[in-house]
Structure 1
Amino acid sequence: MAKVCDFGKEIKKRLVDLDQSQEWLIAEVAKDTGKYFDSGYLHRILRGEIATPGIVASICKILELSADRK
């Protein structure tokens, strides 16, 4: 199993707090950005492999997380 980065852990914890699924987040990000976003893309973000600024900002907005990312 691939290791989840700190931002990925924040995402997963927040989804539990909101009682929402990753599928819900994927749909919300796609709707918010108007860009292609799927489970593979989210998985790569959760592992810290990619951090597309617009997608990360959308995730932070939707989950109400701090947008201060490196």
Structure 2
Amino acid sequence: MRAYVNQLVLPSPPVRRVLPRTVAMAHPLPVEEDEPEQERGHHLHPEPYGAPEQQSLAWVRHPR
């Protein structure tokens, strides 16, 4: 195991791949999808927002 003492270790730059235009036109990526009306106003994890458990998406999708 190598010890790195007093050495600056920089992260690698992110790998980016640019698709050719013909491929990108044939397979467009959806930017954003509309959520169903019954899921509007609900959160995946409502606790950080101070919302009750009843406002979770799990509660809407699978009511108890």
Q: TM-score, normalised by structure 2?
A: 0.23
Q: Which of structures 1 and 2 has the larger relative contact order (alpha carbons within 8 angstroms, sep 6+)?
A: 1
Q: TM-score, normalised by structure 1?
A: 0.22
Larger radius of gyration: 2
- Select the structure that is richer in helix: 1
